[in-house]
Amino acid sequence: MAYGFVGISLFIILVYFIGSLYIQQNKYKLLAEARKSIETKFHSIVSIKNIHLSIIEQFPNLSIQLDHIDVKGTMYDVHQQKIFTAKKVSVRIKPLPLLIGNIVFSKTKINNGHLIIYTDSLGKNNLEELTKKRKKEKESAFPIPENIELNEFNITIKDDQKLKNIQFYINYLQVQTKETDQITELFIKKNMTVHSLTFNHLKGSFLKNQLLKGKYTLELNNKSQTLSAKNISLIIGSIPFNINGIFDLKKEGKFKLNISTKGIPFDIAQLFLTKNINRVLKFITITKPLAIEANITGPLSGGEPHVIANWETKQTTIGTKQITFTDADVKGSFNNQVKKEQAPSDSNSSILLTRLIGNWHSIPIRTTNIQLNNLTNPKLRGGFSSQFDLAKLNPPLNTENIVIKNGIGKINIDYDGPLNNILVSNTKITARLQIVNGEIYIKPIQKDIINTQAEIDISNNAVEIKNLTARTKDGSILNVTGISTNSLAAIPNTPGKANIILNIKSPFLDLNNFSAALQHNSKKSRKTNKATFSKIDHLLENETIHIYLDANSIKWQKLVATNLKTSINLKTGNWELSNLSMNVGKGTILLSSKIINNKGSKTISANYNIVGVKADELLYGMGNFNLPPISYKNVRGILNIKGHLIGPLNQQGDFNPNQIKAQFNFRLSQGALINYAPLIKIQEHIFKKRRLDSLRFSNIQNDITIQNGNIHIPRMEIATSVLNLFVGGDYGLDGKTNLHIQVPLNNITQRDQSKKMLNVSNKEKGGTSIFLSAISDKTGQIKLKLDPNGSKYKKEQIAQ
């Protein structure tokens, strides 16, 4: 055995020596024959630098090696494009036939080569003359080998007319053939890189810079002239694919391919696609790998193939900047020939979601109808519906001012518009939200709204409250309709400010604690900006809200009123109350006011007109207006007041009497003073036997000024059922009281006061009188004493 191996080895060395000697001696003849054979076969101009016999290149086999081959077609002078170049071409010689003296070639190996097929803009091809002239010819001195191996080899197919550019770099490719009667099997092993797979350079390349690696078999049917692939395993990039297909190699032939993979990350899949398709897909996020199956058909002569791809993934996050779904099970498809009468193209393409089951901000959703059409100018169309726990709306609302506690929500959302450059003119977002038995906490008014039933329509950034009914725990009942524009963030950069109009009707409204909305702004921890539909916090702080309020009955503090009607404007943190009217008993209150927010401090200004209201009811209801000199316990009568006030609001939304400025005219008719302390104190000096604890009077009228905690009372006559007197001066809320009291001496004699009560005049002199002063001491207590300046004060007041 050993002797046999040694003998064969010596024989090969001998053949190599003899062959090398022969090639060396006949080098130029052999080069000429090789060139002629190639030129005849391919109708080209050939250059070969060297030829020699090698035992190393395809060891242990002998091979004939050609160095630096250069092949130019007949169109080279026109295109300056060669057909083929190679640094080294090695043709293996079968060893066994050498034993009987025959030379048979078995394998061709090409290193550092380049194959170029070029078509210019006029459709002229650098292989055109070869195609025209080539006919059946006698077998050349270099017959077609049984197999071929390429190393570091480039293939370029460029068509300037069809805008096609295909470039492969072959790291390693080996093709072996096995023939039967009708079938030629091609055993292929390859490792190559796709630099470009461009069918139209305006659209970009598929598989750009992706590695293709695999080992598989193709079948060539010589009778039907078809090439088929069955269950080929191929690595593209780093992803395993399974490929089946058939290629019709006849003239005008077509191909069909089925390509599938069980798991490819979405970002990796984008690397396989053209820049035009990725221009659309870059706006979409899919976090879990996709299972994809694609069917591709098209002509071998070139042109856009028809692609239908189906894909699915589970438990993924999928969405765009506008809307994102989590924990989603998704099925979809891609078709680049939606309209069959039109050729495949990006503009004739669509991506369809045939199933999407997942969550939108923890809200369960389900849809079978989301489409992305026309990848040249992509347009998204579709929507979803859901029934859900209403509290799950809190995250997408993303507001600190509204907290949803309970209830059932039903929502339908539809979108029709582009993925990018979203504008009101090109986008339509519609939604309907239904609320059943909702409980919602409204932070600015610190109230829980319960038993909420609502039907709300959304169109782009506009919201229409078709109907909303609710109650509060204190018994208020709300019936609300309204509309707002530019109040959502669904369409960004919408021109114009938000404008909200609310119509509120109520059979009963308890306004207590609503004043919390007037509190000073406290420092908030801002929520991070999220991709939600809400701008509620911004609206409440910066935009315009118009409220038209109509309530049959209201309660504020202890005041009960009926038939309240008003309009309220809230704008950039300021409030304006216009034309408020309401009935208190048989009387009416008219009010217009403004609340101005300046760097967190709120100031109120108001014009008011009180007509025919019972004084004790008003004072009781309004907590005596925080003015110590008067109380609902002491005053009776029909009150008319008209005036204006301005002042800051405290943390509770009330004003501090020491800080307000006010001017008003009042008239108290058919009145009485009951246990009024300043009058009772007079009995310490005079009229000790008279009842000053219950005094009736016809009219008291004056113009009052309040400023810096001081109530200024011009001299006025009080003609009561027991006596008449004059009072004027200043009552200090901060303990600086100085009142002048004039008691005419004609009061000493008891008389019928009814006539005098009807003829009251603040300019009346009063005749001979006792003058007293009510002055507060250091402790704030008011003391009565004789007033030496009383007469002077009277004259000054009368003279004014």
DSSP letters along 101-115, please?
T---EEEEEEEEEEE
Residue 284's H or E segment, with its range, is none
Query: Quick check: 717 and 794 in contact, CB under 8 A?
Result: no
- Is the bond preceding residue 60 a cis peptide, omega within 30 degrees? yes
**Partners of 449 in beta bridges:** 440, 472
Pick from 303, 236, 306, 305: nearest CA to 272: 236
- CA contacts within 13 A on the Cβ side of 655: 24
Query: Quick check: 538 and 545 in contact, CB under 8 A?
Result: no
Question: What is the 3 state secondary structure string of 636-704?
Answer: EEEEEEEEEEEEEECCCCCECHHHCEEEEEEEEEEEEEECCHHHHHHHHCCCCCCCCCEEEEEEEEEEE
What tokens were used for 348?
């004739």
- Is the bond preceding residue 629 a cis peptide, omega within 30 degrees? no
Q: Compute φ and ψ for 625, nearest 5 degrees.
A: 55, 25
- Positive or negative, the CA dihedral 692, 693, 695, 701 is positive
- Positive or negative, the CA dihedral 506, 510, 513, 516 is positive
Query: Quick check: 610 and 585 in contact, CB under 8 A?
Result: no
Question: 519 Cβ partners below 8 Å, 6+ apart?
Answer: 651, 652, 653
**Cα–Cα distance, 604 to 656 (Å, whole number):** 11
- The amino acid present at 711, given as its one-letter code, is I
Residues (pLDDT < 70) of the chain are: 1-44, 54-61, 94-105, 128-146, 444, 487-498, 513-543, 627-629, 651-653, 685, 751-757
Q: Compute φ and ψ for 737, nearest 5 degrees.
A: -90, 140
**Cα–Cα distance, 98 to 106 (Å, whole number):** 12
> What b/e string do you get for 218-232 counting C-beta neighbours within 10 Å, with b at 16 or more?
bbbeeeeebbbbeeb
First-to-final CA distance of the chain: 148
Pick from 582, 589, 581: nearest CA to 615: 589
- The amino acid present at 489, given as its one-letter code, is A
Query: Which DSSP symbol is given to 125?
Result: B
Pick from 343, 218, 334, 217: nearest CA to 272: 334
Query: Quick check: 97 and 103 in contact, CB under 8 A?
Result: yes
What tokens were used for 200?
């139209």
Tell whether pTM > 0.85: no
Q: How far is CA 331 from the centre of its chain?
A: 24
- Other beta carbons less than 10 A from residue 615's beta carbon: 25
What tokens were used for 95?
């060893």
Pick from 401, 645, 652: nearest CA to 520: 652
Query: Which DSSP symbol is given to 488?
Result: B
What tokens were used for 440?
């919602």
**Cα–Cα distance, 772 to 764 (Å, whole number):** 17
Query: Quick check: 44 and 130 in contact, CB under 8 A?
Result: yes
What tokens were used for 49?
């630098």
Q: Does residue 632 sit in helix, strand or coil?
A: coil
Q: Does residue 287 sit in helix, strand or coil?
A: coil
Question: CA distances (Å), 328 to each of 311, 312, 324, 490, 679, in order?
Answer: 14, 10, 10, 22, 81
210 class by beta-carbon count within 10 Å (0-12 exposed, 13-18 middle, 19+ buried): buried
pLDDT digits (tens, 9 = 90+) for 222-270: 888 888 999 999 998 889 999 999 989 887 788 899 999 999 998 888 8
**Partners of 51 in beta bridges:** 66
Q: Compute φ and ψ for 102, nearest 5 degrees.
A: -105, 145
**Partners of 728 in beta bridges:** 740
What tokens were used for 558?
């202890």
**Cα–Cα distance, 366 to 560 (Å, whole number):** 50
- The amino acid present at 583, given as its one-letter code, is N
